[in-house]
Structure 1
């Protein structure tokens, strides 16, 4: 049991490190990143929507018959938060009118990364092999996740240094944190509970991709935006296939 804990902690920390590497890389090449933010938004939408529909939603349905209700709660929960942020932060302070572009995706990705930490705990408790298979699939999306979180925060008007810290906290640190929080309660986290949490995260990610990223990207009419969207879908398919 002790070895399982340290293995789960090590692999979730590797996931956080890969995400941090993505944040550092895009910070290092900031000008290039800013010029191509629209493409990253399309790519992110493709990844988030496709991975949710192809993997997270079916998985949650197989674990919890009430998953559709939790999916709806996750979707509209993010919508209500976006409305709150727009009404009470953006409208009252014109300098922050674009904050929702970065903050809402950050929260959606952060919650999903936190649930990823739960999955590390549970997978390694089942078996070491199951844990490593889960790790393979999840680590594949960590690098672009860090890039996307950072770029959207900067696009939303957050300063670059603060965006780097927030992206690290939301997209990277939440994974080992989720593992540490969940590990002592593994016996209490049954399939139905995890299924509900997965459905919640899927609802949040679908909201972020379909109603937040795509409409903003489409407003800018960049020449290869559809190619970026298709690339995101392809990456999601590869991630899902690696978990089969």
Structure 2
């Protein structure tokens, strides 16, 4: 059990490192990132929406046949958060008018990364082999998560320093934290509960991709945005296939 804990902690920390590398990379080449943020938004939307429909939702329903209402809660919960940010932060302070562009995806991605930490705990408790299979699939999407979280925070009006800190805490640190929180409770987190949590995170990710990223990307009318969207869908398919 002790070896399982350290292995799960090491791999969830690896996921955080990969996300952090994504944040650092786009921070170093920030001008390039800003010029191509529309493509990143399309790519991220493709990954988030496709991975949710092709993997997370079917997986959650297989674990909990009653998981569908949690999908709805995740979707509208993030919508209400967006309305709250717009009404009580953006409209009251003109300097923070665009904050919602960064905060909403940050919360959605952060919650999903936190639930990823639960999956590391459970997968390695089942078997070391299962844990490494889960790791291989999940690490694939960590790098772009860090990039898009950082870029959207900057686009939303946050300083580069604040964007680095917030994206690190939301997209990177949440995964090992989720693992540490869930591991002591591993015997209490049964399949139906994990299925409900996965469905909740899928609802949040679909909201971020379909109603937050894609509409803003379409306003830019970039020439190759559809290609970037297709690339995101392809990466999601690779993630799903790697998870078997």
Instruction: Provide the TM-score with structure 2 as the length reference.
Output: 0.99
Matches within 5 A, 1:128-207: 128-207=128-207
- Paired position in structure 2 for 1:38: 38
Q: Where do 5+ consecutive residues of structure 1 fail to align?
A: none
Q: In the aligned structure 2, how far is the partner of 1:99 from the partner of 1:233? A: 27
Q: In the aligned structure 1, how far is the partner of 2:46 from the partner of 2:202? A: 14
Of residues 58-67 and 196-205 in structure 1, the stretch that sits farther from structure 2 once superposed is 58-67
- Paired position in structure 1 for 2:60: 60
- Paired position in structure 2 for 1:109: 109
- Paired position in structure 2 for 1:97: 97
- Paired position in structure 1 for 2:123: 123
| Matched position secondary structure for 2:187 | helix
Q: In the aligned structure 2, how far is the partner of 1:217 from the partner of 1:148? A: 13
Q: In the aligned structure 2, how far is the partner of 1:166 from the partner of 1:201? A: 19
Shift of 1:133: 0.2
Q: In the aligned structure 1, how far is the partner of 2:153 from the partner of 2:43? A: 16
Flag as ranges the 4+ runs of structure 1 deviating above 2 A.
none
Q: In the aligned structure 1, how far is the partner of 2:132 from the partner of 2:212? A: 33
- Paired position in structure 2 for 1:71: 71
Shift of 1:94: 1.0
Q: In the aligned structure 1, how far is the partner of 2:213 from the partner of 2:16? A: 24
Q: Does 1:233 align with 2:229?
A: no
Instruction: Provide the TM-score with structure 1 as the length reference.
Output: 0.99
| Matched position secondary structure for 1:66 | coil
Q: In the aligned structure 2, how far is the partner of 1:159 from the partner of 1:64? A: 42
Q: Where do 5+ consecutive residues of structure 2 fail to align?
A: none
